[in-house]
Structure 1
Amino acid sequence: MTSAPHPLDDVPCHDPYVLAVEGGYLLYTAYDSGRWQRQIPEGSDYPAPPGTGVLAWWSPDLVSWGSPTAVFTVPQDCWADPSVAPWAPEVHAWGDRYVLATTLHNPAERLPEVTQRTTRIAMSSDGWGDFTPVRRGTVLAVADDPRGPFQLLDPQRPHTPWSFMALDGTLTRDERGAPWLVYAHEWVQTVDGTMEAVPLDEDLRVAGDPVHLFRASEASWFRDVTPSTHALAPYVTDGPQLHQLPGGALAMIWASYRPDPSFTGGEYVETQAISPSGSLLGPWHQGEVLVGGNAGHGMLLTTHDGDLVLVLHRGMGTPRVRAEVHDITSTPSGLHATHQ
């Protein structure tokens, strides 16, 4: 196996997703060849892959990383703009193949603007610019190997609803074993971001209408916030991931911005929601924050040693965004995190 010379803190990484494979682990993250030198560890001489797409970094132990491989390239002939890098790639073992879920974009194709009782609501944020709704959605691609190459199942449209500005889709099976794509409906289009799901068939084709799960404003910390300019919309939903708790309840980890004047736009946090019945369709009860300090968009991984860990990124909105690993305890009532 090729050596892995870089510590995790050297690897630029938004929205990390780690898959356990034979002999080690693969860390998936997006890349943009135009910004390649800022996307690889300092001192590396890896050649830039073409275009935009998804990389897989290999590690034997979740500590040292190297040998990045381009596993998916945004094709020139799909609905999305191939010059815009994907978001939130993740790979699932699915039967006898592997499925990549990632979010693609077409910024030139605008969607209807947010209105309330015929009043247009213009989304903006200091330092971030205008937030006009544009085409964004999660796609699915398949491969025989976790190192790709992955091919889109449908190059003409995303798996999330065509009229929705959607992101961060994740594959799961419900309590009856039926497949679903769970995703975030972007706050840019809804003001109050939501978590939703679309049913799939066994060939991973969309098999029904989207189902609403919960809203970002239902997050537990809003109960304790004194009304102020720091407690107003928008409310963000990011990065859903599902985990079965001991005893049968279902947990969803997700990320959002907790009101905090010390962070521009709020403090990015990793939080959780619980479906006590174990049903994907809920009802969902909002739990407490797992990790704060401007960190989030996590995923849960069972290591080769049988340990449950949370992998997320810290430094949201800064020039240096890196993945980190936390130990996790899974209990019947929810999840609890400590840093490794």
Structure 2
Amino acid sequence: MKPLSLSEINLRDPFILTDERTGAYYLYGTDGATAWSGKPTGFDVYISRDLVSWEGPEPAFRPDEDFWSDRHYWAPEVHQWNGRCYMFASFKSEQQTRGTSILVSDSPVGPFIPLFGGKPVTPDGWECLDGTLHADDEGQPWMVFCREWVEVKDGEMYAVRLSPDLSRADGDPILLFKASDAPWAVAVGDNKDSYITDGPYMHRLPDGELVMLWSSAGEQGYTMGLARSSGGIEGPWTQDAQPVFAKDGGHGMLFRTFEGELCLTIHIPNANPQERPVIFKVKEEGSRLVIEGQAGQ
């Protein structure tokens, strides 16, 4: 099969795992063709050695017939934890609200098997999405996730402690902030009274400061900003006045190349089915993340 460039891959919410064991990069994301309608087949993975040429797609997750969700397979992230690969992904059905479930595999290419029978780790009855893994200063796992604006209007960001094996929530969710706290966020919806929270991703700056990339609507379309904690995961959190990326792209995450370079991947634009993964080089300048040129260009 002919290798693909990123411009040929229709994915939203890209996530790249750098695997030292295999010497390869693994790209996951929301399939653009079934992001909003149709029944997804599951999640795929693309594989690269240089971030330029990609092989695939390979099937990473295919649901059993009794899997609870039949639509909106969104934002898969794969994190390595205690020697295994854990996929955090959001799902929805006609009978059940959207939630983030956790799946596990011994390999970045899968097959990924749902933990806890596939039951979402997010609270029952809440409309939630975009769970991501965070390890606190004691090495204990947390999931950061969004409560959707379609339910609460002013989208909310939460953190919940996880059990050591990542199979379930261990405690009640803690509210970190609301979308309208960001000066750059603009209202959406029919009445222009709602604010979006999307795509959290946790990062430690060189000085140890804990920051969070997250996305919402901005003046120029889909936008990604930076929140900062003056403590640990529980905050308090403040919002940078200016976004990290403002030109109709977002849902980003950071990863390092095998050479140690820090990179950011987001999807651009936010319009379906035009969205494509894009990779930028990033520099940490003091307390700032500065986007430079595209990687591989």
Tell me the TM-score normalized by structure 2.
0.90
Q: What secondary structure, in the 3-state scheme, does the structure 1 residue paired with 2:98 have?
A: strand
Q: What secondary structure, in the 3-state scheme, does the structure 1 residue paired with 2:7 have?
A: helix
What are the residue-to-residue correspondences of 1:109-188 with 2, within 5 Å? 109=95, 135-155=97-117, 157-188=119-150
Q: 1:320 aligns with which of 235, 249, 274?
A: 274
Q: What secondary structure, in the 3-state scheme, does the structure 1 residue paired with 2:236 have?
A: coil
**Letter aligned with residue 163 of structure 2:** D
Deviations 1:184-243 (A, max 9, x none): 110000100011011111111211001100100011225xx8x99999421000000000
Residue 50 of structure 2 corresponds to residue 64 of structure 1: no
Q: 2:239 aligns with which of 286, 300, 321?
A: 286
Q: What secondary structure, in the 3-state scheme, does the structure 2 residue paired with 1:188 have?
A: helix
Residue 184 of structure 2 corresponds to residue 193 of structure 1: no
Structure 2 distance, partners of 1:145, 1:27, is 13
**Letter aligned with residue 216 of structure 1:** A
Q: What secondary structure, in the 3-state scheme, does the structure 1 residue paired with 2:143 have?
A: strand
CA separation of 1:244/1:290 partners in 2, compared to 1, >3 Å: closer, same or farther? same
Matched residue, 1:215: 178
Structure 2 distance, partners of 1:255, 1:87, is 15
Structure 1 distance, partners of 2:262, 2:80, is 18
Residue 43 of structure 2 corresponds to residue 54 of structure 1: yes
**Letter aligned with residue 165 of structure 2:** D
Q: Is 1:138–1:159's contact at 8 Å kept on the other side of the alignment?
A: yes
What are the residue-to-residue correspondences of 1:221-260 with 2, within 5 Å? 221=184, 232-260=192-220
Q: Is 1:230–1:259's contact at 8 Å kept on the other side of the alignment?
A: no
CA separation of 1:230/1:76 partners in 2, compared to 1, >3 Å: closer, same or farther? closer
Q: Is 1:312–1:325's contact at 8 Å kept on the other side of the alignment?
A: yes
Deviations 1:91-145 (A, max 9, x none): 0111111100100111x22xxxxxxxxxxxxxxxxxxxxxxxx610000001111
Structure 2 distance, partners of 1:291, 1:333, is 16
Residue 69 of structure 2 corresponds to residue 102 of structure 1: no
Q: Is 2:102–2:118's contact at 8 Å kept on the other side of the alignment?
A: no
Matched residue, 1:206: 169
CA separation of 1:307/1:230 partners in 2, compared to 1, >3 Å: closer, same or farther? farther
- CA apart distance, 1:23: 2.3
Structure 2 distance, partners of 1:95, 1:229, is 42
**Letter aligned with residue 61 of structure 1:** D
Deviations 1:3-54 (A, max 9, x none): 762211111111100011222211012448xx58x9xxxxxxxxxxx96211
After the TM superposition, which of the residue ranges 206-215 and 327-336 deviates more from structure 2?
Answer: 327-336
Q: What secondary structure, in the 3-state scheme, does the structure 1 residue paired with 2:163 have?
A: coil
Q: What secondary structure, in the 3-state scheme, does the structure 1 residue paired with 2:208 have?
A: coil
Structure 2 distance, partners of 1:78, 1:14, is 23
CA separation of 1:7/1:216 partners in 2, compared to 1, >3 Å: closer, same or farther? same
- CA apart distance, 1:80: 1.9
Q: Is 2:188–2:195's contact at 8 Å kept on the other side of the alignment?
A: no
Structure 1 distance, partners of 2:82, 2:214, is 26
Structure 2 distance, partners of 1:13, 1:229, is 24
Matched residue, 1:43: none
Q: 1:93 aligns with which of 65, 80, 92?
A: 80
Structure 1 distance, partners of 2:217, 2:289, is 19
Structure 1 distance, partners of 2:118, 2:52, is 39
Structure 2 distance, partners of 1:64, 1:90, is 21
Structure 1 distance, partners of 2:193, 2:256, is 35
Matched residue, 1:14: 12
Matched residue, 1:26: 26
Q: Which has the larger radius of gyration?
A: 1
Structure 2 distance, partners of 1:230, 1:304, is 46
- Root-mean-square deviation (CA), in Å? 2.4
Q: Is 1:31–1:52's contact at 8 Å kept on the other side of the alignment?
A: no
**Letter aligned with residue 136 of structure 2:** D
Structure 2 distance, partners of 1:164, 1:5, is 41
Q: What secondary structure, in the 3-state scheme, does the structure 1 residue paired with 2:11 have?
A: coil
Q: Percent identity?
A: 38
